[in-house]
């Protein structure tokens, strides 16, 4: 049985064989992960369609066209191989298991089809030594002082090189190309504002437990901002539009891209028709995207068709940044870290949980008035979310 680079989208023509998860000549079982491939948009995991002996024809590190045969599986088992059950595990789970010293073969997977997840590995991991103890420090006392010298001896010749050269992955190359294109081909500007999240925090605290019990997912901050943006985009449709040649294409729907940081780069899966989604549906889809990213199961279809994007740098501690457009979109909202800050309310200085907001927009079709108005509207919705929450 041949192992080929699959077709993953009309715009994808080649892929990098990033990593083989099994050795050449080893025995594999049906549905067992064999290798990871990377395109300029996503990372995929190829599984065995049958059991047998693996032959690798294209080694890791080579980029080949879609449809290329990169290996094969022959019936039988490797010489001297002992029959054993090989539990399926996501790449993230395998990496974590290696770091924690956990034998994945001993775990019972709770993921789809018995797949081992990172959470399964963490539950099985033995807590590390928290005492911070290390090797004893050997103190050497000298009877005579060591003479001081300013002579600089050359470094030993056996030192390893202090620089490394690594080829860009297809995803990183694509990210670099798109970011450069944004700077060169758009008139990008950014407007800023800040929002008081007191009432959102109170809503999450008061309804969070019931929300989780009812819908099986946590009530996060992102769903409030998605719904607020959908309302704002209805009022300021140019921010939800795109330039196509000499035309402006207006979208009467909100396909909101949610930026998710992955090990190999940023990906932006899309919440389709987000204006029609309930808070629980938004949170469930975002959680599903996060799992897909972690397990390299994100599909090209998940990334296509966005009309506006949201990026939350606050999860990494960013206080303020300028988000960059995701072409052909004309707007992207940047969320940031929540900080308790002194603000004036009714003539009194009080402490409130504040978040800076940033809207980057394409000034070719979005005027400053529209950008400022949209950002102000988002601020108003997240500062008074009760009506938005009840209607959503």
For the residues 203-223, what does the mean pLDDT come to? 94
Residue 136 confidence class, pLDDT cut points 50, 70, 90: very low
* Residue spans of alpha helices (H) in 186-321: 198-215, 222-235, 279-294, 300-303
pLDDT at 70: 95
Residues carrying CATH 3.30.559.10, the chain: 170-391
Total-model pTM: 0.70
The single residue of 23, 252, 273, 367 carrying the catalytic annotation is: 367
Per mean pLDDT, which range of 236-245, 269-278, 289-298, 323-332 is the poorest? 289-298
> Taking all residues of the chain, what is their mean pLDDT, rounded to a whole number?
85
Ramachandran assignment for 213, one of left (phi > 0), alpha (psi -120 to 50 degrees), beta (any other): alpha
Task: Return d(Cα 20, Cα 55) in angstroms, integer.
Answer: 11
Cα 196 to chain centroid, rounded: 27
Kindly report, residue by residue over 290-349, the tens digit of the pLDDT.
999 888 888 888 999 999 999 999 999 999 999 999 999 999 999 999 999 999 999 999
Residue 143, pLDDT above cutoff 50: no
pLDDT at 8: 77
Residue 236 confidence class, pLDDT cut points 50, 70, 90: very high
User: Is 13 one of the catalytic residues?
Assistant: no
Find out whether 360 and 331 touch, Cβ atoms under 8 Å: yes
pLDDT at 151: 55
Kindly report, residue by residue over 3-22, the tens digit of the pLDDT.
999 887 766 788 899 899 99
The single residue of 207, 215, 251, 363 carrying the catalytic annotation is: 363
Residue 254, pLDDT above cutoff 90: yes
136 compared with 360, residue with greater pLDDT: 360
Task: Return d(Cα 267, Cα 41) in angstroms, integer.
Answer: 8
For the residues 46-52, what does the mean pLDDT come to? 92
User: Is 363 one of the catalytic residues?
Assistant: yes
Residues carrying CATH 2.40.50.100, the chain: 2-78+85-120
Its CATH architecture, for the domain 2-78+85-120, is: Beta Barrel (2.40)
pLDDT at 153: 63
Find out whether 196 and 280 touch, Cβ atoms under 8 Å: no
pLDDT at 257: 97
Q: At what angle do helices 222-235 and 368-383 cross, to 10 degrees?
A: 140
Residue 239 sits at φ, ψ, to 5 deg, of -75, -15
For the residues 138-152, what does the mean pLDDT come to? 47
The helix, strand and coil proportions of the chain, stated in percent and rounded to the nearest 5, come to 30, 25, 45
Tokens of 132: 């911070």
Q: DSSP assignment of 6-43, as one string? A: PP--TT--EEEEEEESS-TT-EE-TT-EEEEEE-SS-E
Find out whether 18 and 43 touch, Cβ atoms under 8 Å: yes
Kindly report, residue by residue over 69-121, the tens digit of the pLDDT.
999 999 877 655 554 445 877 767 777 777 777 777 778 788 766 778 888 88
What one-character DSSP code corresponds to residue 240?
A: G
Residue 250, pLDDT above cutoff 90: yes
Residue 127 confidence class, pLDDT cut points 50, 70, 90: low
Provide the strand spans (E) within the chain: 2-4, 14-20, 27-28, 33-38, 43-47, 52-56, 63-65, 69-74, 188-196, 242-244, 247-249, 256-258, 260-262, 265-267, 270-271, 308-312, 331-335, 338-345, 348-362
CATH superfamily for domain 170-391: Chloramphenicol acetyltransferase-like domain (3.30.559.10)
CA dist 331 to 108, 178, 310, 363, 370, Å?
44, 15, 9, 10, 11
pLDDT over 70 percentage in the chain = 86
Residue 144, pLDDT above cutoff 60: no
């Amino acid at each position: 049985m041949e192992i080929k680079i699959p077709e993953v989208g009309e715009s994808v023509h080649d892929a990098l064989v990033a990593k083989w998860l099994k050795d050449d000549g080893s025995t594999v079982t049906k549905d067992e992960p064999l290798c990871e491939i990377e395109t300029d948009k996503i990372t995929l995991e190829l599984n065995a369609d049958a059991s047998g002996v693996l032959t690798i024809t294209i080694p890791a590190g080579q980029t080949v066209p879609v449809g290329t045969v990169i290996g094969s599986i022959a019936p039988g088992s490797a010489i001297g191989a002992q029959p054993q059950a090989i539990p399926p595990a996501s790449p993230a789970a395998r990496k974590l298991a290696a770091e924690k010293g956990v034998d994945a073969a001993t775990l019972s997977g709770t993921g789809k089809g018995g797949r081992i997840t990172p959470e399964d590995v963490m539950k099985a991991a033995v807590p590390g030594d928290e005492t911070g103890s290390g090797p004893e420090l050997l103190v050497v006392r000298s009877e005579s002082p060591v003479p001081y010298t300013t002579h600089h001896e050359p470094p030993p010749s056996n030192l390893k090189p202090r620089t490394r050269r690594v080829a860009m992955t297809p995803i990183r190359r694509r990210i670099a190309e798109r970011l450069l294109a944004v700077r060169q081909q758009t008139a990008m500007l950014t407007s800023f504002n800040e929002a008081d999240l007191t009432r959102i925090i109170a809503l999450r605290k008061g309804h969070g437990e019931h929300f989780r019990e009812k819908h099986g997912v946590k009530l996060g901050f992102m769903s409030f901002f998605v719904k607020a943006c959908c309302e704002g985009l209805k009022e300021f449709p140019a921010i939800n539009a795109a330039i196509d040649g000499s035309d402006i294409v207006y979208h009467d729907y909100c396909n909101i891209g949610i930026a998710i940081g992955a090990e190999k780069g940023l990906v932006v899966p899309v919440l389709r028709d987000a204006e029609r989604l309930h808070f629980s549906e938004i949170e469930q889809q975002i959680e599903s995207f996060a799992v897909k990213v972690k397990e390299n199961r994100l599909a090209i279809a998940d990334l296509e068709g966005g009309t506006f994007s949201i990026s939350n740098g606050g999860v990494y501690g960013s206080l303020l940044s300028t988000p960059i457009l995701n072409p052909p979109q004309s707007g992207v909202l940047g969320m940031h870290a929540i900080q308790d800050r002194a603000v004036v309310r009714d003539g009194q200085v009080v402490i409130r949980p504040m978040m800076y907001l940033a809207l980057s927009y394409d000034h070719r079709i979005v005027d400053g008035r529209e950008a400022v108005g949209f950002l102000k509207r988002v601020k108003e919705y997240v500062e008074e979310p009760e009506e938005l929450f009840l209607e959503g």
